[in-house]
Amino acid sequence: MSARLTARRPEAVLLFLLSACLVVLSIQVRRPNGMTAGEKWLLDLASPFLVAAGEARAGAAAVGEWGSTHARLVRENRELRARIAELEADLLRLRDAERDKGRLLELFGVTPHLPPEARPAHLIALQSSGTFRSALLDRGGDDGLEAGGVVVSPAGLLGRVVATGAHSARVQLLSDSTAAVGVLFVRGGRAAVAHGDGGGVGVLYVPLSEGPAGRAHLRDPPRGPLALPRPPGRGGGRPEPRVAHPRPAAGPVGAGDPRAAAGAEAMKALRVLVGTVLAAACTIAAAAARLPASPDFFLYPVADASRGGAAILTMLAGLLAGLTEDALTVPARLLGLHAFAKILIGYLLATLGARTVVEKPLAVGLLLSGAVLLESGILLVLLWLLRGQLLPPRPEALAWRAAATGLVGAALHHASRVPWRARREARRRRRLS
């Protein structure tokens, strides 16, 4: 029960924050008849109880019909119990047969024996950038996978898990230029080190023997097949299902340090705070410059917090950004209007970030533009529910705002992926040389 509540904690936080925003908004808006929106909603909530009384009367009439069919239900239940007993006996026989089959397969060595902590997973996407190769699995941290776990296929080693989300995991393939693993040649049983080159796997060296000084004599590897799997997706075929092995239950390095985890959480919160302050400054500057279509600057810290799939942090970022935007830009001081929309959009972005990885600047721009359009629809519905008036925005202004938000967001995402530090170090080394 506690595990189920923990898994549903982001939804509970979402419901609490949205309800709080609705309560605050309903107190601020008063209808022409003198009642606030909250009072009207309370009256609407009380009306179902009257309907329930009528339904109870109809239910009493249905009780008599139920009594007439009780004997038939008891007879059917007895027959079903007998059928279940037969099926359970068949299941026990099948389990014994499966156990005997597995014992025979293990004796003859037909199939490898997987450890009990192995988790099955499907490879759903392959990603490449230059000489870097990675893949995406449809299982994540909620399914028992951890960073550093080994990923194998029926053909052999595939790679290792380098990052996990709630329901997805990123795998560094063996063909990646930064991957290496010790292997044995099929012929001769010599040890070697295989290294990915971005397109396949090559052998770096083969230790043969030790000389008088204790150093290994090396030579070119012999020609022959390697006991390594081919990279997935070769030959136009569909990728086969993979099996991801979580890391053993030893203490994790770095990730399990409470101080490091607390520092990372504090850094994320600081990024949200700084991003909101910068968004407020940019909004004020755009209003002072009288730009015809300014981007939704308050959407950027929310989108930045959602990249790791942390739903609660993203919703809190949406609350902070929305309240700040309400204080700056909302007419009639409807505090909580943009906060409601930003919280809901933040939850959707975090859910998407936990299940997939958006890396292309074009995809990021389209996602931000869609978020602007969705927020406009949410605000339209909220104002209609609160004031009873439908006030749609101008289509051309909304289109320009969505386009500007997407373009600026794509540019910021592209700039964040540029290795500025590496380039600066390279320029410094060139100057020194």
pLDDT digits (tens, 9 = 90+) for 409-427: 888 888 887 787 787 888 8
Interval 310-350: pLDDT, tens: 888 899 999 999 888 888 864 555 788 888 999 999 999 88
Residue 226 has what pLDDT?
A: 44
Average pLDDT of the chain to the nearest whole number: 77
**pLDDT, greater one: 389 or 398:** 398
Q: What is the pLDDT of residue 146?
A: 84
Whole-number Å distance between alpha carbons of 292 and 290:
6
Burial 199-231 (b: 16+ CB within 10 A, else e): eebebeebeeeeeeeeeeeeeebeeeebebbeb
User: What value does the mean pLDDT take over residues 383-397?
Assistant: 80
Instruction: Say yes or no: 215 and 284 in one domain.
Output: no
273 and 409: one domain? yes
pLDDT for residue 209 = 52
Is 97 within the bounds of a domain?
Answer: no
Q: Are residues 224 and 272 in the same domain?
A: no
Is the Cβ–Cβ distance between 393 and 286 less than 8 Å?
Answer: no
Per-residue pLDDT band at 84 (split at 50, 70, 90): very high
In a domain, 102, yes or no: no
- pLDDT of the residue at 42: 61
- Looking at 210, 245, 280, which one is the last position of a domain? 245
Question: Is residue 266 domain-shared with residue 236, that is, in the same domain?
Answer: no
Residue 215 sits in the same domain as residue 330: no
Q: What three-state secondary structure class fits 114? A: coil
Share of the chain above pLDDT 90, in %: 10
Evaluate whether residue 264 is within a structural domain.
yes
Q: Which of 77-86, 217-226, 318-327, 358-367 has the highest mean pLDDT?
A: 77-86
The CATH number that applies at residue 241 is 2.40.10.340
Residues 403 and 293 placed together within one structural domain of the fold = yes
CB 354 within 8 A of CB 165: yes
The verdict on 277 and 131 lying in the same domain is: no
Two tokens, residue 359: 């890396």
Please report which confidence band the pLDDT of residue 88 belongs to, taking 50, 70 and 90 as the band edges.
very high
Band of residue 94 on the pLDDT scale cut at 50, 70, 90? very high
pLDDT at 227: 44
Of 283, 423, 330, 284, the C-alpha closest to 21 is 330
Query: Looking at residue 112, what is its pLDDT?
Result: 55
Do 196 and 270 lie in one domain? The reply is: no
Helix (H) or strand (E) holding 5: helix 2-7
Residue 286 inside a domain? The answer is yes
Residue 387 in domain? yes
**pLDDT tens across 115-152, in order?**
777 788 888 888 777 767 888 888 888 888 888 888 88
Let me know whether 376 and 264 are in one domain. Answer: yes
User: Is residue 28 in a domain?
Assistant: no
Is the confidence at residue 91, as pLDDT, over 90? yes
**How sure is the predictor about 390, in pLDDT bands with cuts at 50, 70 and 90?**
confident
pLDDT at 377 over 70: yes
pLDDT score of 352? 87
The region of weakest confidence among 17-26, 74-83, 281-290, 298-307 is 17-26
Do residues 217 and 209 make contact, with C-beta atoms less than 8 angstroms apart?
yes
**240 phi, psi to nearest 5 deg:** -80, 160
| pLDDT value of position 2 | 41
Q: In this predicted structure, what is the pLDDT of residue 337?
A: 84
Domains identified in the chain, total number:
2
Grade residue 79 by pLDDT with cuts at 50, 70 and 90: very high
More confident residue, 141 or 433: 141
- Which residue matches tokens 């390697």? 226
Range of the domain at 157: 119-245
* Per-residue model confidence (pLDDT) at position 108: 61
pLDDT winner (highest mean) among 245-249, 253-257, 312-316: 312-316
**What values do phi and psi take at 150, rounded to 5?**
-85, 140
Assess whether 238 and 312 both reside in one domain: no
Query: Which pLDDT score is estimated for 353?
Result: 83
Claim to verify: residue 285 and residue 363 sit in the same structural domain: yes
| 60 part of a folded domain | no
pLDDT(154) > 80: no
Dump pLDDT digits (tens) for 21-72.
Answer: 877 877 777 666 656 666 666 666 667 776 777 787 777 777 767 777 888 8
| 264 and 408 both lie in a single domain | yes
Residue 232 has pLDDT above 70, yes or no: no
Q: What residues contact 358, with CB distance under 8 A and at least 6 apart?
A: 352, 364, 367
Q: Which residue has the tokens 């909004």?
A: 283
Q: Which pLDDT does position 111 carry in this prediction?
A: 54
Q: Which two tokens stand for residue 170?
A: 């990123």
198 domain residue, yes or no: yes
